[in-house]
Structure 1
Amino acid sequence: MTSPQLASYKYTGYFFILWIMFQGTYSTAKYFQHQYEASLFTLNIEKRIALDISKLRLANPIFNTISHPPSVKRYIDQLNLYLTEQDSNVKLLKLQNVSIDIDGEYLTRNSTLTPTGQKIEVSIAVFKWPYLTTLTPIALFLALIFTYLNYKIYAKANSAANNLSEPSPPDSPVKLSINLHDKTLNNVKFGKKVELSNKPFCFYVALLEYCIKEPNPLLNQSKNVPEDIITLANKYFYRLIEIGHTKRKRPDFSTNLDKTLSEIRATLDAVFLHQPHEKELFYPPKAQGEGSRSKLHNYALEHLDPSHLEIIGK
């Protein structure tokens, strides 16, 4: 049996249990209300008879009077008519030796009144509680609501448990995409793309490739740019010409290094605008301090890995 089928049987059973519980609670409450009302009406009937006893023509051995059944029967009928109008669940069945016939199923409650020293037998019919009439749509509605809420809570808890049990996928690695076709640097993870002009673009691609190949690159602005970087920069410049980006004279990549690096850094600032901590891999470090300390400055990218780069149109 599949998991969805098991879940279906589970919630069907849960629904029927709730429905029976709510319906049973409602029916039980109505039953006790029925019993309470029967006792209340019975007490009221006995009080009424006690008040009317002097007007009733009942047999009284003390006064040597005999019963007059027709008048007693009329009294019973009048009292029962009043009880019917009050939606009572009881009726007067017998008063002393005078009784009437009543339709329906009922239980008999017998009592004895002694208002003036005489014994007056009273029988009251209490109609049986009609259980089928207590079926209520409220119980069905509540069972549906609680079953639905239980399903939603269980589904939410199950989803949370699955999320905890399943390892979260690792964050995608930081990656810089360099596209020679449009001379752009693209933050692959967040989709931020910025264009760079010819000279800094070619120099930066060459710098990246050089730093990946060299195990411990050491580049200082107070020294000449390595020939390997210039050669690579020229190669990429000629590639731009092939693609059709420029027909200008090849720039001198060994001059104005400060300006070239500044343009590269400004572009990277824009590419990693909202992720500044992730740009460090690709960001040529700035010199800290002046004079002798700047001579120790290394603008090489020391922690680059081929997996961090993608060069399109190479």
Structure 2
Amino acid sequence: MKTLKTFVPLGVVAFLAASFLFLDGWPFRSPAEEVDKGEGAPGLSRVARPEQNASKVAKDGPAKGAPARKEAKAEPQREEEKALRARLRGLKKDRDAYRKALGAALMKGRLPGDLLAEWRRIVQKDIFTPPPRVAHVKVKVRPGDNLTRIARRVKKAHKGNVTPTLIRLVNGLPNDRIRAGATLAVPTGRLAIEVHKESFRLFVTLDGEPILDRPVGLGKEDSTPVGRFTIHGKTRKPTWTKPDGTVVAYGEPGHIIGSRWMGFANDMGRTGYGIHGTSDPTSIGRSVSEGCIRLRAEDLELLFDLVPEGAPVRVLP
């Protein structure tokens, strides 16, 4: 009997314990429900019950997805554009200040499409239609003069770097022919190049103000160097040296750098980088070169004639 008395209480205890566990549902609880029983171990997230999620949605509204994040990101851009337009409206009465403000915004990558078109229209009218609204002198053409001689005289007198092509463009000349006795407007400022890698744009500036912008291709894996350089070694019909050292003459199969080369130099000498053309126009706006800056053929030929040897170049990230 003593043995039976001992056995029964133990059996009852075991039965009650098993019943409690099954009634609580432990064998069928999901890990989520298990975590929800308490705060969980340190570093583990507590999973909310369905009713908790429902109350959160009712309180906070639906979760905000990617479109909402884009909307939040676009809001400061819209505010910045509104501020830019307001500032530009205040400058419209001062034509030169308005044009320069448009150009400054363009070089910062902040000019909307309609204002970009307006900047180009104003530059065409103000700078490339005589008389140009930039610093210049009036030169009377002498017998035997040509644009190269006139450019040389003005550069010597005013320390600028004007080119025959710039003289032709600002005077609206269809070609380089001029006649003795005519009067030409000759800019006295300095031409330079700026390349903005982030926007894949090249700008020609005159005394710091952009007068021309063109799309470019850049080096793969961010290989186009940033910094300050000068144009050194302008060459027509250049040979191309491949990365493996093979030299390909202009016009031969496999020559891919176009009809012009404008090399870069710095304090250490020639860098091996420069501006050239491309046999693949689709590479413009992309990072695919070995580090040089690519232009479309017509843009390269214009730049080559417009910007002189020794002109400063600045490449920005």
Larger Rg: 1
TM > 0.5: no
Name the TM-score, length of structure 2 as normaliser.
0.20
Normalised to the residue count of structure 1, the TM-score between the two structures is 0.21
Greater share of helix residues, 1 or 2? 1
- With a CA cutoff of 8 Å and minimum separation of 6, indicate the structure with the bigger relative contact order: 1
